[in-house]
A and B are shown apart, each in its own frame.
Chain A
Amino acid sequence: MSIDLKTVKHISKLSRISLDEQKAKKLETDLNSIFKWIEQLNELKTENIEPLSSIAETKLRLRKDEIKSKNIREEILKNSPDDNKDFFVVPKVVE
């Protein structure tokens, strides 16, 4: 299966990464060579195999639902590119 330029642009949209035409073409080449190599997985029959999503395979621990960090608003906003002291600021979303 090959990945065409249209698909590359669609993935770039899903990834929220803008691409110019040249970069998109380069990625089309790269992704095709990578996926051609990945296709070898199809040699394996895996119908009855349970997928492995995590090595830990343990149940997640439960804990009490309690607040441990208090008054950290300033810390949280400290690295924001734009804030108004209380909130993160983003371009207008709703007209």
Chain B
Amino acid sequence: MSNITDLSLSELVSNIKNKKLSSHDITSEYVERSKKSKNLNTYIEETFEAALKKAKEFDSKPDLNKKLPGIPIAIKDLFCTKNVKTTASSKILNNFIPTYESTVTQNLWNDGAILLGKLNCDEFAMGSSNETSYFGNVISPIDKDLVPGGSSGGSASALAAKLTPATIGTDTGGSIRQPASFTGTVGLKPTYGSCSRYGIVAFASSLDQAGPMTRNVNDAALLLEVMSSFDNKDSTSVDFKRPMYSKDLSKDIKGKKIGIPKEYRVDGMSEEIEKLWEDGKNYLKDCGAEIIDVSLPHTKFALPTYYIVAPAEASSNLARYDGVKYGFRTEGNNLIDMYEKTRSAGFGDEVKRRIMIGTYVLSSGYYDAYYLKAQKVRRLIKNDFNNIFQKVDAILTPSTPSSAFKIGDKSNDPVSMYLNDIFTVPVNLAGLPGISIPAGLDKKGYPLGLQIIGKSFDEQNILNIAYSMEDKINFKFNLKEWWMND
């Protein structure tokens, strides 16, 4: 057998079910590899000893009917984990130990998975490069100078470096799909309402969704199947019959109509991305799908809309960090002084910037001009998608306008950083599902991704399309393990 850490999530599950591998075999391999990979700065909290103990417990009484039997998984540090430190990569939460478990992670453990540790991300998931983390930026295994993307950068990096067989992230404006694209991995943002938001540190509540990040499409289907559930604890959780995504996965996409939105051909788009997109269309045609040119006329307004809506919701959500109920506190001369000092010392620059934007657009005299305006434009963006989904079954776009950029390249220019999410943000605004799959390499040899966007709750369809394309693309990336210590 090849190395355990080279096996996909689905392969590990079959090996456990066939009793060829034990949970302890797998967990100890991942623990060893993670310990040798500290240079990547992926883990904020390691739970290796507890994981090994749980693996032994699983092996002594294995329940092979579980979907993730004894499988170790490291997760983004935005999910609250009972009795395990949860920081959201912020100083203000750096001593926070939840007394409850997020629904999504509880679903993983209920189906047999074991927590390996908590992974670095942008502070409160606000960022596209993992440079805003209080715990330092994550290094991409692709190249030491590159960002892994963000905000689920630690998740993408750990997955690509094979420190975990799969992982989960959250996606508010592209935080799963963009890092997946940058690291040659698969990332899926489900429809809003599919995965419970209960116990996930809130950023922008009308946009946040948790989703799987995996090495292939089959694994994404399996993990989504476990993560997605109706939950009374999340008022926006949707009660619908959830398919068995992995069981129903099919490469038959004959006759599917795939839209190519012309507005995604943005100014200054590189030839490499053009070609990647063209190749994608050809792969789909090879699979028997029909390509249709479509228009999403309000695309260019999605990012400015997002940068009103998301900070507005964030400023409201982050009001809870006041140094009283949990987290970090700086003492002050009086209550207000304590609040102001605590929040000034506890939040990083990007988080402060977004709270300030959000507070401004919600403040008296500006609410109509900004917040209400953005909500109206959000409606127009959603209508664009509604209109073309009358004609097509899914949409194909590039995942990002470029491959991964260098650490420090965009950190001083917020707008240029924000522009990185140009192809992912509209999907969140419309609440739709989107998946990024690795589709090729650019001239520098860095991974590029293609995104498939589907109708609400039509995850099965975009998974099937991705599954068919994956086969044709046959993406290979020869990862040199330059970061490993002995």
Contacts and interface: CB of A to CB of B under 8 A. Distances in A.
Interface of A: 3, 7-8, 11-12, 14-19, 27, 30-31, 33-34, 37-44, 46, 49-56, 58, 60-61, 63, 72, 75-76, 78-82, 88, 90-93
Contacts of A88: 324-325
A45 B403 CA distance: 35
B373 A46 contact: yes
Contact of A30 (B335, B379, B414): B414
Contact of B307 (A38, A54, A63): A38
A52 B379 contact: yes
A78 B171 CA distance: 30
Given A15-B355, A63-B232, A40 B301 contact: yes
Nearest to B378: A52
A1 to B, nearest CB: 8
A24 B338 CA distance: 19
Contact of B340 (A16, A50, A55): A16
Contact of B382 (A3, A52, A60, A61): A52
Interface in B325-373: 325-329, 331-341, 343-344, 347, 352-353, 355-357, 359-360, 363, 370, 372-373
Given A15-B315, A30-B414, A61 B235 contact: yes
B340 A52 contact: no
B335 A37 contact: no
Given A3-B360, A81-B328, A34 B307 contact: yes
A42 B324 CA distance: 40
Contacts of B378: 51-52
Interface residues of B, number: 65
Most buried by A among B344, B347, B430: B344
Contacts, number: 154
B328 A44 contact: no
B105 interface: no
Contacts of A63: 232
Interface string B193-224: 10000000000001000000000000000000
A90 B357 CA distance: 28
B431 interface: yes
Interface in B230-271: 232, 235-236, 238
6 contacts: A56-B236, A76-B99, A76-B325, A80-B325, A82-B329, A92-B335
B72 interface: no
B419 to A, nearest CB: 9
A78 B95 CA distance: 11
Contacts of A51: 372, 375-376, 378-379
Nearest to A43: B301
B62 to A, nearest CB: 32
A16 B337 CA distance: 8
A20 to B, nearest CB: 9
A29 B464 CA distance: 46
A13 B273 CA distance: 45
Contacts of A43: 301
Name the residue among A34, A42, A72 with the largest chain B CB count within 10 angstroms. A34
A39 B378 CA distance: 15
Contacts of A38: 304, 307-308, 370
Contact of B377 (A14, A18, A46, A60): A46
Contacts of A81: 323-324, 326-329
A14 B364 CA distance: 11
Given A8-B356, A51-B376, A79-B325, A91 B335 contact: yes
B380 interface: yes
Given A17-B344, A31-B356, A63-B232, A37 B375 contact: no
Interface in B180-194: 192-193
Given A56-B192, A88-B325, A33 B356 contact: no
Contacts of B300: 40
A41 B301 contact: yes
Contact of B376 (A17, A52, A58, A75): A52
A78 B375 contact: no
Contacts of B340: 16-18
B171 to A, nearest CB: 14
A49 to B, nearest CB: 4
Nearest to B373: A41
